[in-house]
Structure 1
Amino acid sequence: MNILSVIGLIVVMTTTIQGAEAEPKPFPGKVSRWEGFVRHDFEVDGVQVIVVEPKAPKPGRPWAWRGEFFGAFPNADIALLNQGWHLASMSVPNLFGAPKAVAHWEKFYDVLVNDHQLHPKPALIGLSRGALYCMAWAVAHPEKTLLVYLDNGVCDFKSWPGGKPKGLGQGEGSAPEWANLLKAYHFKDDREAMASTLNPVDRLVPLAKARVPILLVYADSDPVVPHRENGEVLYDRYKTLGGPVERIIKPGLGHHPHGLTDPRPIVEFFDRTWLAAHPITTR
């Protein structure tokens, strides 16, 4: 075999190896159907996770990441799947976005991006307390966040689960969940929790600098997560910092239902943000 043949063989072998590496691994675990799509249930870092595959993945393999309450008020999730987005969820309840929760999410992220080649910047969906998880991830990893969508989201844990039981807000609050929150964050007592600056409303600077778009959907009569202590505060502060933020206010409604009857404004926000970041997608 002459030198040109050897070089040609090396090129072919290298291309073959690179092509094999570029092929995403199939998702493992139990396979079922969810809303007409293929669902995979498996375990990452000792935690149960869910991935739902679109029928025709969008080039670039974008994905939406649910922070808690998979399957609740899912019409936007379903619409995104129909648009070619993957959907993922990792439930670590009673951690309220604390560092331990983010550590679990980091393991899940590594699996989805490295093994299954989903896009390095997920879009985050935070309903109610799920907002604490999404904002904690986004603040820790603004470079790995495409956008954040919060729906009647908890943006200050003093408001919920603090609220009236702790004299920290106008919402109903929850004394048992407050106790869980102290444990999750390793706060010594109420005073340490109240003095904490680990709330989403207090940690917006990294996101504003990275210009991570945020969409807020909230009701103006929510007795559980009052908008004036949560979504409205985040909106005003993020806008002051120069961060890109939009909001949709639902007049006269309470904490439920989440989302919108017609999810098109939410889906359009996702697609618009994706296209702005990837005007030409070659993957």
Structure 2
Amino acid sequence: MNAEEVKVSEWEGYQRKDFKLDGHECILVIPKEAHPGKPWVWRAEFFGAFDYADRALLEEGWHIAYMMISDMYGCPESIELMEMFYKYITETEGLSKKADLFGFSRGGLYSVNYTVKNPETISTLYLDAPVMNVTSWPGGYGASERYPKEWEECKAVYHLTDENALEFKGNPLNKMDQLLKAGIRIMLVAGAVDSVVPYKENGANLAEYYQKNGGQIKVIVKPDCDHHPHSLEDPAPIVEYIMKNFEEVEK
């Protein structure tokens, strides 16, 4: 597949390529010197937001890649677009066959759903205050309020109604066993008092399941943190976990 409308510019002192695939805007930030194996951070959503870990890995030689498929909430069509993007990044740009996939907030829907379908392409799955259940957010069936615009968009792409939404079995929470069986290594960061994407209804379930069943997961819960800010201002624990995993999968 050929990229369209390719533009090269400078971003924070690094070379940046903007291009389109199948009409979707894409970004690739190139490190000054690529780490052996050409690893890459794959942002599922919100390029540049709370990107402490992204930037730290960029300094270590990771590329940063992003494809804008917003408002698709990790639905099957969005996963097909992600597969197309992965193929381009690995085959045309020549980056590692193992991506470090970052799922922030609603990006958790994209990241888990993609990983379950394509586990062999992931080195580390980094989830940050992730949405793991659409009825929690944006549906507002739990402790969070409903987000009407996002809920209507989400129902549309999943072909849900208010009447059958609670019966939906396509959430990331319904796929934890598949992540575990595939041996996916997970980094989970979340705020304990998240009022938007409540931790107890989302990430906590994954943490508990993985820990109970011997999965490889590193969990950092920020005691007094709401949904924002994401990540860690000192991202060293995140970066070290991701780099260690990549070195092990490269052996």
Structure 2: unaligned runs, 5 residues or longer = none
Q: CA separation in 1, counterparts of 2:159 and 2:80?
A: 15
Which 10-residue stretch deviates more, 255-264 or 25-34?
Answer: 25-34
Q: In the alignment, what sits opposite 1:12?
A: none
- What is the letter of the counterpart of residue 193 of structure 1? A
- What is the letter of the counterpart of residue 204 of structure 1? M
Q: In the alignment, what sits opposite 2:106?
A: 129
Q: What is the TM-score when the length of structure 2 is the normalising length?
A: 0.95
Does residue 212 (structure 1) correspond to residue 184 (structure 2)? The answer is: yes
Q: Per the alignment, in what secondary structure is the counterpart of residue 107 of structure 1?
A: helix
Q: CA separation in 1, counterparts of 2:13 and 2:165?
A: 43
Q: Tell me, yes or no, if the aligned pair for 1:77 and 1:87 is still in contact at 8 Å.
A: yes
Count of residue pairs brought into register by the alignment = 250
Pairwise mapping of residues 191-230 of structure 1 onto structure 2 (< 5 A)? 191-230=163-202
Q: In the alignment, what sits opposite 2:241?
A: 269
Does residue 239 (structure 1) correspond to residue 211 (structure 2)? The answer is: yes
Structure 1: unaligned runs, 5 residues or longer = 1-24
Q: Tell me, yes or no, if the aligned pair for 1:26 and 1:116 is still in contact at 8 Å.
A: no
Q: Tell me, yes or no, if the aligned pair for 1:66 and 1:88 is still in contact at 8 Å.
A: yes
Q: Per the alignment, in what secondary structure is the counterpart of residue 269 of structure 1?
A: helix
Normalized per residue, which structure has more strand?
Answer: 2
Q: Residue by residue, what CA displacement relative to the aligned partner does 1:186-229 show, whole Å, maximum 9, x if unpaired?
A: 22x12332211111111022221121101110011111011100
Q: CA separation in 1, counterparts of 2:180 and 2:57?
A: 25
Q: Tell me, yes or no, if the aligned pair for 1:27 and 1:40 is still in contact at 8 Å.
A: no
Q: In the alignment, what sits opposite 1:30?
A: 7
Q: Tell me, yes or no, if the aligned pair for 1:35 and 1:78 is still in contact at 8 Å.
A: no
Task: Give 1:151 deviation, angstroms.
Answer: 0.8
Greater C-alpha radius of gyration: 1
Q: In the alignment, what sits opposite 2:151?
A: 178
Identity over aligned pairs, percent: 42
Q: What is the TM-score when the length of structure 1 is the normalising length?
A: 0.85
Does residue 57 (structure 1) correspond to residue 29 (structure 2)? The answer is: no
Q: CA RMSD in A?
A: 1.7
Pairwise mapping of residues 252-263 of structure 1 onto structure 2 (< 5 A)? 252-263=224-235
Q: In the alignment, what sits opposite 2:45?
A: 68
